[in-house]
């Protein structure tokens, strides 16, 4: 019998130690992300956000690997002792873990909300609407920090007046009971207002930056239905940039007058553009969507 059935039938006391370790790891990760190191000056926000986002992906991926390794080790012990446990019903556990069909019907409407490691969705969870037509799921995800945003205080402190939004059209094709291949077209938009680059006696500037990026993405994931709801996890989704545009709206600058050249200002704008483009085309990982179907 698959060892994953054990958490469904094992007494709560046997999970206490593992759950405590996982909770402690999550707390440590949370306090790290929102420590003083994460609060940075607005002038260098794009570069720092790119670095922190990569570190965040590494930390969460490492935590997931630890959990999987711990589960595998426990699974071996369970497999050795399950035949001696009178409380285990192999037939019932097999029915739970390996249902004959994914859902009672071969089609269904799906509505959910998703969150995970994505430069847009990290600050604004996505609303997901889709349709299941065995063996395919088609749908769209919409995210907007103005209407669905979280971490509003942190976003304003770190990025000032800004807006993160995105739209993803996806297709998921099952190649097993629960695993699927996914392909998507992603549209990511970032608007940053009132950016400054000021240096005493050298010059000042005020401008806006608008980013628009379109990607084609490909990845793998896992989707599981229960009686009324579902849980889908895009384990990894790599993006391939198709189209990108950056618009700079300059309100005023004094570099040309005070310094006689605006080359330092132009260099700073180019660096910000490159950093933000690198951030926006980052891959999506551990993106979980949960909701209900009907």
Distance CA 276, CA 259 (A): 27
Query: For the ranges 27-31, 108-112, 126-130, 207-211, which has the lowest average pLDDT?
Result: 27-31
* Structure tokens, 165: 């939004």
Distance CA 37, CA 157 (A): 13
Average pLDDT over residues 158-181: 92
Reported as a single tens digit per residue, the pLDDT across 11-50 is 444 444 444 444 454 445 444 444 434 333 444 444 445 4
**Phi/psi of residue 59, each to 5°?**
-65, -45
Reported as a single tens digit per residue, the pLDDT across 134-159 is 889 999 999 999 888 888 888 888 89
Contact 229, 223 (CB under 8 A): no
Q: Which domains does the chain show, CATH number per domain?
A: 1-98 (no CATH), 102-294 (2.40.160)
pLDDT at 96 (0 to 100): 53
pLDDT band per the 50, 70, 90 thresholds, residue 62: low
């Amino acid at each position: 019998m698959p060892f994953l059935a054990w958490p469904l039938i094992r007494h709560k006391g046997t999970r206490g130690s593992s759950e405590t370790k996982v909770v402690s790891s999550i707390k440590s990760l949370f306090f790290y992300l929102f420590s003083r190191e994460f609060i940075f000056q607005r002038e260098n926000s794009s570069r720092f956000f790119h670095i922190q986002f990569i570190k965040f992906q590494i930390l969460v991926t490492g935590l997931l690997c630890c959990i999987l390794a711990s589960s595998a080790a426990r699974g071996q012990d369970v497999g050795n002792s399950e035949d001696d446990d009178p409380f285990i019903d192999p037939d019932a556990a097999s029915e739970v873990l390996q249902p004959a069909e994914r859902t009672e019907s071969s089609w269904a409407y799906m509505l959910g909300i998703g969150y995970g490691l994505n430069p847009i969705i990290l600050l604004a969870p996505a609303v997901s609407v889709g349709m299941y037509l065995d063996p395919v799921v088609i749908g769209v995800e919409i995210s907007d920090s103005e209407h669905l945003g979280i971490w509003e205080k942190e976003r304003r402190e770190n990025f000032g007046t800004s807006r993160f939004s995105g739209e993803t059209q996806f297709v998921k094709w099952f190649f097993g009971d629960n695993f699927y291949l996914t392909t998507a077209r992603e549209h990511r938009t970032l608007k940053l207002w009132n950016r400054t680059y000021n240096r005493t006696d050298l010059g000042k500037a005020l401008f806006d930056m608008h980013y628009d990026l379109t990607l084609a993405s490909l990845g793998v994931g896992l989707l599981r239905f229960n009686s009324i709801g579902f849980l889908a996890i895009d384990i990894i989704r790599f993006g391939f940039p198709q189209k990108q545009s950056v618009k700079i709206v300059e309100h005023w600058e004094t570099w040309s007058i005070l310094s006689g050249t605006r080359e330092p200002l132009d260099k700073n704008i180019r660096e910000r553009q490159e950093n933000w483009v690198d951030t926006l085309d980052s891959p999506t990982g551990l993106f979980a969507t949960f909701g209900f179907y009907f």
